[in-house]
Structure formats: structure tokens, C-alpha cells
Structure 1
Amino acid sequence: MPTDRTPAGTRPYVLISAAISLDGYLDDTSNQRLRLSNPDDFDRVDAVRADCDAILVGATTIRRDNPRLLIASPTRRAHRAAQGRPEHPTKITLTTKGLDPSLAFFTTAGDKIVYCPQPALPALEKELADVADVTTTGNPLDLGLILDDLAGRGIRTLMVEGGGTIHTQFLTQDLVDEIHLAIAPFFVGEPGAPRFVGHGTFPHNPARRMHIAEVRQIGDIALVRYLAAHRR
């Protein structure tokens, strides 16, 4: 796990974690969240979360899925506490507009940080000041400066859990150290459904091939773990 891979004072180690269909979708277009993974893989994700200091998701994911982003296992929470760490990772999101403070992201345990562009800061501070630390890194938001800010807050490992726009931004800016893909054995095939990544100029091209660190079967799921070229 990545916990000890990032020296103190440097940017956090960034790990993208996603479950996708065989054709690269994160979800379908229905009103119900598509369960791409299985119970054993959900437990694996819980273990990875427990090794990380923070989890980041985009505001669209929060609005669409209403995630809690908590550690489910009491044993893992107790282990974190015994290490002097919070029971749950810090929860982080990026947004350009308002978020409902009654969403599970805000009402469940864990520290919360909301990053927004400078023009949106006054309104979001007024809306979310009681439930989160609202801050900015300029206009537009600068992901590199966000990672610098998180490093200053003691965040050494950051797990990015979507959605596709967030994945694309981190990957095209070459800010990702590791990717975990849990691949479900079926297709979605809906052009309007959210995909793992969107269009962009990616640094991980044939000249900078990523390294396969692990391939594992988890029930009917195939887990593939990649390391960025600079982590080989």
C-alpha cells in the first residue's frame, strides 16, 4: 500500500481507484447507481481507503451518488486509531458551485475540505462553513497547488475516486502515481454514461508506458494495478 511511499513535506502520493465495465464506463444512465464491483472487491477498496490519509471525489459524484466515503471495517478503524490517525480519511471535493450541506459527504464522520475557484469562495463559505473547511487555490483551481496545500495539512496519500472529469484532470496533468482498475465482466454500451476518463492529452502514451504492478482475480472482477512511468 502507498502509505510509506511519500516523504513528509512532498506532494501526496496520488492513487486513482475505479470500478469500470469492460467498455470503460463508471456507471450507466439510469437513476440507480450501477454496482460494477462485488463484495470482496468492496472490502479490498475499504482496505485501500484505510491506508490513505484522504479521499477526493468530484462534486458531480457527490450529487449523483451521495457517497459517505467512510472506512466500513471496525477493525481497520481501530487500527487507524491505534496509530494515532483519525478513524476515517479526510474527505475532499472540488466544486465551482453550491453543494447541499445535508449530503452524506458532509453529515458523516471525517474532516471535510472543499476547494473552489476564488469567485465562488464567498458563497460557498457562507453555505458550507459549518460543515467543511472551504478554501481556494485561485481561479481556475490548480490541482498542483491543491496537492501542495494538502501536503501542508499532513496529507501524504490521496485516493481519488472519481468521477471521470476528475480522473482526466489528474491524469492529463501527470499528477497520478498509481491506478487501481476493478474491471467488471460486462458491457454498458450507453454513449451518455460516464466514462473512466474523457478526452485529453495524456502523458502515459506509448513512449511512457505504465507498469503493471499487479493483476488479480477477485471473484468475477479483474483487478489491474498500474504504476506511473516515474514510479517504476
Structure 2
Amino acid sequence: MSEWSEFDIRCMRLALEQGEKGCGKVSPNPPVGCVLASGGEIVASGWHDHLGGLHAEQAAIADAEERGLATHGSVAYVTLEPCNHHGRTPPCTEALLWAGVREVVLAAADPNPTVRGGGAEFLREAGITVRSGLLEDEARRQMAPFIHWCEQRRPLVTLKAAIDADGMVDSEDEEAGRFTSEASLTRVHELRRESDAVLVGVNTVIRDDPKLTVRLVPLEAGRQPLRIVLDHTLRTPPASRLVTDGQATLILHSDGDEQRASALASDSVEVLHMPPLQPTEPPGVELDQLLDLLGDRGLQRVLIEGGPDVWSRFLLAGLVDEAFIIRTDASIGPGPRAGIDAAVLTTAGLQCASNDSSMDDVIEHWLR
């Protein structure tokens, strides 16, 4: 096992910071960061910024070149094993060889079983020292959706719920509206940006007529998440924004008629019949079947935004991998209860990893 110096750790932490800049921008690729160091000094850094753009290693090498700094004999700190195949860009292993790197320090091996270890082996055969495992847990957390999809061939399921001081999620006496802070709303839009799909039940569509798009944080054109509606009998209103705004929407039903399906379908709206493989309670799309479908389509992270019935189904099935619970001191009056407390989350196999009270609301982060 390698012993890591303080400088090693410092460099890899910077590489992780660089990699964070790619979160929500590069799926289906993972977010990756790279730092080049020489003689105990950091020479350059880079990250994978967008699909088709330079990978992290290539970006770090380009950064050094732009500043007129030598890379020969340097050490590369990379959060993920360098790729050794031609895709949208040439292999990163070849870029590291070209740059004259003498050593590569990895946080995590490539989780894809078809290529795992290939990059490290190629570098070793070329005479480059390779060490791995530095801050591996942090790196795996950063690229959790990618790793989950590679290992499970299903998307990582993230649940988001906003709950008032009395455990309610909506007021039966008021029009639908937001009761959390602006900072919490911004965090929700960040979660949408980091997700490949946002899922709700049809009751949420009827009650809120939501957009479910990323609006409050920067987003590259064409990267809005897919909106998914679980709609057992196709009650989605044809005039709802999810149907009419031109953004991609998938409506899943198990017992809707063809006439309603035709009224909803368009170039941007796919209506898919998914009869359950076995009876579900309550009746509806079978969730395991749904996640297999999304995984087959290459979706790596799905954000479950509501409502209580949908949350309950995913939690009871043990299919939630992480949850963000936004709790506010506001009281919105009588209405549907969230049905989510510490006991429910713990029973679903989750543990509270952090509790952020720095904003007006408290945001709990639960992980499997």
C-alpha cells in the first residue's frame, strides 16, 4: 500500500476540486480532474469541461503549454484511471506519454468492467510508475452516478423532498407554491443540472403544472434533464407545461387508453406503455422495470421530486440511493404529509451523511 505525503494529498484534493467543475456538464462521461506537479510544485491543472472537449489530463497538459511550463518528468494526479481507447477524443494515456509524465497517481480505477485496469496497465508497460487509491472514497462519491451505472446498469436514484415545520408538503387551502428559501431552490436546480432525468407522479403535474427544468443555475444548451411522469391511467393534462413546452418528456403508464396516449404524444413527448411484470400496489408502473429501462437508455442519475406517493413507493422498495430533505420553519397549513422522517429513511437503508443549516432552511443529505 502506498504511503501518501501531504503534497500528494494536496494535489489530489485540488484535482477533485477541478473535477467538481464538470459535475452536471459531462454525463454520460464522469467528472474528472487532473493536476500536474514537478519538483514539489503544482505546474498545471484541468478538468473535463464538456462532452467532446478535452479530458482532464489533456486539459492540464494544455494549461501547462499555455503558460510555457514544462511537463516532462512531472507527476500527474488524476481522479479516475486515464482512458486507453479512442472515443470523442484520443486516449488520455497517449497524452500523458506525449507530455513525458514519469508517474501517475490515481484516486480510483475505472469502474467499467470492460476497460478497468487497461489504462494503468498501458502506462506501466510504457515505463510510467502508477500508484492508486489516493482519496478514493472522495473520488467515488464525486462520480457516484457514473460508478453506479457502470456497476448496476441502472441510474442512481436521488430523492428530493421539501417539508414544512409540521411535516406537510403542500397546503390544501392555498394555490400550489414554494415555501422554501431562494438558496434551497437554487440547490434544487443544481440537483436537476446534475441529473439526467427528473421524475414526478401525475398528481404533482395536475397540482403544480411544473416545468422541472434547470433555470436558476448555468446550463449548457441542450442539456436539460429528461422529465419523467408516472401516470398509471394517463391523467396528464394535454395543456400542461411538460407536454407543451417542447422539452423532452417521457410519460409512463400501465393502463391508459390509446386515445389519451395519442393526445399527449409529440416530437418532444414520448408516451410509453409499461404493463407491470407482476401486480403492483398501488397499481402502476413497476419501479424495478422502470429503472432497468432508464439504465438501458444510458441515464445515470434520476431525481425523484414528488410527490408523497411516489416517494413512498421508491423508499418502501429500497430503491433510493440518496436523499436531500429540505426542512423549513414555515408552516403552510393542513395538507398532504410527506411521510418522510428519520425512521422511514433509516428503514429504507439510508444514513444521514450531513446536515446543512447554513441557509434559512436545513438540508439533510442521506446516503445508502
From the superposition, tell whether residues 36 and 73 of structure 1 become closer, same or farther in structure 2 (CA, over 3 Å): closer
| Mapped pair 1:161 → 2:161 | no
Please point out which of 134, 143, 148 is paired with 1:6.
148
How many residues matched?
A: 214
Using the TM superposition, name which of 97-106 and 158-167 deviates more.
97-106
Deviation at 1:50, TM superposition (A): 0.3
CA distance in 2, matches of 1:41, 1:172: 26
From the superposition, tell whether residues 98 and 186 of structure 1 become closer, same or farther in structure 2 (CA, over 3 Å): closer
Which runs of structure 1 show a deviation greater than 4 angstroms over 4 or more consecutive aligned residues?
none
| Mapped pair 1:148 → 2:292 | yes
SS of alignment partner, residue 357 of structure 2 = strand
From the superposition, tell whether residues 177 and 121 of structure 1 become closer, same or farther in structure 2 (CA, over 3 Å): farther
Q: TM-score, normalised by structure 2?
A: 0.54
From the superposition, tell whether residues 145 and 121 of structure 1 become closer, same or farther in structure 2 (CA, over 3 Å): farther
Q: Partner residue of 2:163?
A: 20
| Mapped pair 1:211 → 2:351 | yes
Say if 2:149 and 2:156, in contact at 8 Å, map to a contact too. Answer: no
Partner amino acid, structure 1, of 2:314 = F
Q: Partner residue of 1:71?
A: 214
C-alpha distance after superposition, 1:153-207 (max 9, x if no partner): 11110000000000011111111001101101133452xx122138xxx6843xx
Gaps of 5+ in 1: none
Please point out which of 231, 246, 262 is paired with 1:126.
262
Deviation at 1:109, TM superposition (A): 4.5
SS of alignment partner, residue 184 of structure 2 = helix
Partner amino acid, structure 2, of 1:219 = M
Partner amino acid, structure 2, of 1:224 = E
CA distance in 1, matches of 2:294, 2:287: 10
Q: Partner residue of 2:339?
A: 197
From the superposition, tell whether residues 152 and 25 of structure 1 become closer, same or farther in structure 2 (CA, over 3 Å): same
Q: Partner residue of 1:183?
A: 327
Q: Partner residue of 1:88?
A: 224
Q: TM-score, normalised by structure 1?
A: 0.83
Partner amino acid, structure 2, of 1:212 = C
Gaps of 5+ in 2: 1-141, 277-283
Alignment of 1:82-121 (within 5 A): 86-95=222-231, 96-117=233-254, 119-121=255-257
- Which protein, 1 or 2, shows the higher relative CO under an 8 Å CA cutoff with sep ≥ 6? 1
Please point out which of 29, 51, 65 is paired with 2:194.
51
From the superposition, tell whether residues 32 and 124 of structure 1 become closer, same or farther in structure 2 (CA, over 3 Å): same
Say if 2:190 and 2:217, in contact at 8 Å, map to a contact too. Answer: no
C-alpha distance after superposition, 1:40-72 (max 9, x if no partner): 111111111100000001111011001001111
SS of alignment partner, residue 186 of structure 1 = coil
Q: What fraction of aligned residue pairs are identical, expressed as a percent?
A: 25
CA distance in 1, matches of 2:186, 2:195: 15
CA distance in 2, matches of 1:7, 1:204: 24
From the superposition, tell whether residues 74 and 107 of structure 1 become closer, same or farther in structure 2 (CA, over 3 Å): farther
Deviation at 1:35, TM superposition (A): 2.3
